[in-house]
Amino acid sequence: MDKIIIEGGKRLSGTIPVSGAKNAALTLLPCALLTDEPLTLRNLPRLADIDGFQHLMNQFGISTMIAGSRPEDFGRVMTLQATRITSSVAPYDLVRKMRASILVLGPMLARMGEATVSLPGGCAIGNRPIDLHLKALEALGAQIELAAGYVRAIAPDGGLPGGRYSFPVVSVGATENALMAAVTARGKSTLHNAAREPEIVDLCKLLVAMGAEIEGIGTSDLVIHGVPRLHGATYMVMPDRIEAGSYACAAAITGGEVTLKGARIEEMEATVQALRDAGVAIEPVAGGLKVASDGKLRPVTLSTAPYPGFATDMQAQLMALVCRAEGSSVLTETIFENRYMHVPELNRMGARIETKGRTAIVHGVEKLTGAEVMATDLRASMSLVIAGLAAEGETQVHRLYHLDRGYERLEEKLALVGAQIERVGSD
Ligand code: EPZ
């Protein structure tokens, strides 16, 4: 298996292009199910999860075509067309590799009147139930059956009536499934306490471009007026705010100055505020964001929260940054029950982090030292890369398949701004 070798201590300087957002792309792709016309998505990131989703869509008989990239398209351009659905089953061997596959449940149900999806297992950061997805679809009129490790959703006499659901917990995926099921329901649907992440807004914008009628976009209260059918569209995937925030931490921990091309500050306010509290200078510039630090970092105290709060997907990366702060930071992870697996690995690099339940106390240290470390989940892997960039000596990060799920051309982008980093096939 590949590994990444980093020689730390290099100050990052220059421009990093931000790719299309993984977590937007994974909910925009299944929208192809909602029409028999072509759906063209631009600025798709080149990531393992996107390839996996393309393969899943092919399983349903959906044609997918990747256009040759043109200068103006940093990301990939894919056209999907669900002329005829040949299967409405998302099989275990695909779903277990990519839990975002559950996002076909709502649109497949809307298109075919029924859908069968393998229950996604948990993952490293938690058991990741899907009860809210199922309760929301039931509220829209679906019948839900669970059997033999699969969930089967059925629309009474082939079409969902629509309905009202109030989420007891904010759930990004459940909001996405409910939205994709509701847009062609017979009547009106109302979602309360819906997720407001920018990726949800991106989904709503695509659905509206396809002919859906949605009110309250960007708020916690969404009203969807069902329409008989949707048409095709061409849509540009939003930039990845988590990738941008990750590279901002990388620039800051090295005392560098990096421009994040394509980053939108309005979608990253909580991250920008946390970095500014840590003593990092961040300013919007034409077409992106400029991040600069003199390497002197202050401790921060914050909790993760649903948008517009501080993103749980940024917790591990910020933790790596504040390992070098002058003082102790207190980070509380409120979204997932097991999202501190980067802590033991960071401590092996000389960090001094204590965890007590959902809270981590990060005592800043003078220096980090390079080590061989193991990636355990996507964002934890990135926190080890960030620490390695500032550590003295060599850091080797193993199990890169985690990183490849969420960071397109990571070593290329970091080398662009002066990191001494290379990917090698392991012996
Ligand atoms: C999405 O996951 C993202 N993934 C995650 O990013 C992100 O961490 C998460 O939202 C929160 O922002 C994609 O968009 C593909 P949730 P999702 O439903 O939809 C509980 C990354 O690193 N819950 O908002 O699965 C759940 O256990 C990934 O890019 C239920 O209890 O997250 C969690 O505690 C990791 N029942 C909380 O809600 C449900 O039915 C939030 O989960 C669903 C969720």
Q: What does the pLDDT look like over 356-397, one tens digit per residue? A: 999 999 999 999 999 999 988 999 999 999 999 999 999 999
Which of the listed residues 209, 236, 263 is the one where a domain comes to its end? 236
Q: Is 338 annotated as a binding residue?
A: no
CATH of the domain at 222: 3.65.10.10
pLDDT at 210: 98
Tell whether 34 and 161 lie within a shared domain.
yes
The CB density around residue 427, as the number of other CB atoms within 10 Å, is: 4
Which of the listed residues 221, 236, 251 is the one where a domain comes to its end? 236
Tokens of 60: 């349903």
- How far is the centre of ligand 1, averaged over its atoms, from the C-alpha of 201 (Å)? 16
Tell whether 152 and 223 lie within a shared domain.
yes
- How far is the centre of ligand 1, averaged over its atoms, from the C-alpha of 171 (Å)? 6
Tell whether 306 and 405 lie within a shared domain.
yes
- How far is the centre of ligand 1, averaged over its atoms, from the C-alpha of 29 (Å)? 18
Tell whether 403 and 295 lie within a shared domain.
yes
pLDDT for 135-145, tens place per residue? Answer: 999 999 999 99
Nearest CA, atom 21, ligand 1: 313
Is 147 exposed, middle or buried (CB count within 10 Å of its CB: 0-12, 13-18, 19+)?
Answer: exposed
Tell whether 184 and 220 lie within a shared domain.
yes
pTM above 0.85, yes or no: yes
Tell whether 227 and 295 lie within a shared domain.
no
Rounded to 5°, angle at Cα 340 from 335 and 345:
160
Q: Which atom of ligand 1 is nearest to the CA of 311?
A: 12
Tell whether 185 and 224 lie within a shared domain.
yes
Q: What residues make up the domain containing 310?
A: 2-18+239-425
- How far is the centre of ligand 1, averaged over its atoms, from the C-alpha of 70 (Å)? 34
Tell whether 413 and 328 lie within a shared domain.
yes
pLDDT at 125: 78
pLDDT at 102: 96
Q: Which atom of ligand 1 is nearest to the CA of 103?
A: 15
Total domain count, the chain: 2
**Distance, CA of 195 to CA of 183 (rounded, Å):** 17
Tell whether 81 and 140 lie within a shared domain.
yes
pLDDT at 118: 95
Tell whether 417 and 383 lie within a shared domain.
yes
Q: Which atom of ligand 1 is nearest to the CA of 336?
A: 34
Q: Is 128 annotated as a binding residue?
A: yes
pLDDT at 373: 96
Which of the listed residues 214, 236, 258 is the one where a domain comes to its end? 236
- How far is the centre of ligand 1, averaged over its atoms, from the C-alpha of 12 (Å)? 32
Quick check: is 123 catalytic? yes
Q: Is 132 annotated as a binding residue?
A: yes
pLDDT at 72: 64
Tell whether 232 and 243 lie within a shared domain.
no
Nearest CA, atom 27, ligand 1: 128
Where does ligand 1 bind, in terms of residues with CB under 6 Å?
23, 26, 100, 126, 128-133, 169, 171-174, 312-313, 335-336, 378-379, 406
Tell whether 275 and 310 lie within a shared domain.
yes
Please choose from 169, 240, 312, 379 the residue to mutate so as to test ligand 1's pocket, defined by most ligand atoms within 8 A of CB: 169
pLDDT at 127: 77
**Residue of 123, 204, 249, 323 marked catalytic:** 123
pLDDT lower than 70: segments of the chain = 70-74, 426-427
